[in-house]
Amino acid sequence: MGILSWIVLGLIAGILAKLIMPGRDPGGFILTILIGVAGAMLGGFIATGLGRGEVTGVNLHSIMVAIGGSVLVLLIYRTLRR
């Protein structure tokens, strides 16, 4: 997957993770993308390890995996910021 795909997938996943877990987080748009990309990578790593497939592009399965990873990364981020 190319860097542009990671950014697009990260943006989508980061925004949806913020909608799932609303709250006041510093950082704005750039941090949302970074959380989303990190979440996509973490979600892909976990999904591959569990035998559930990989993050292969911008498709429904990859978005769901990335959102799950992004929610996890956002939860970790919020825990560490406290």
pLDDT digits (tens, 9 = 90+) for 16-56: 888 887 777 667 777 777 888 888 888 888 888 888 766 66
Q: CB under 8 Å to 74, separation ≥6 — which residues?
A: 17, 18, 21, 25, 35, 39
Report yes or no on whether pTM surpasses 0.85. no
Q: Is it the case that residue 71 has pLDDT exceeding 80?
A: yes
pLDDT at 55: 62
For residue 5, the tally of other CB atoms under 10 A from its CB is: 15
Residue with the larger pLDDT of the pair 23 and 67: 67
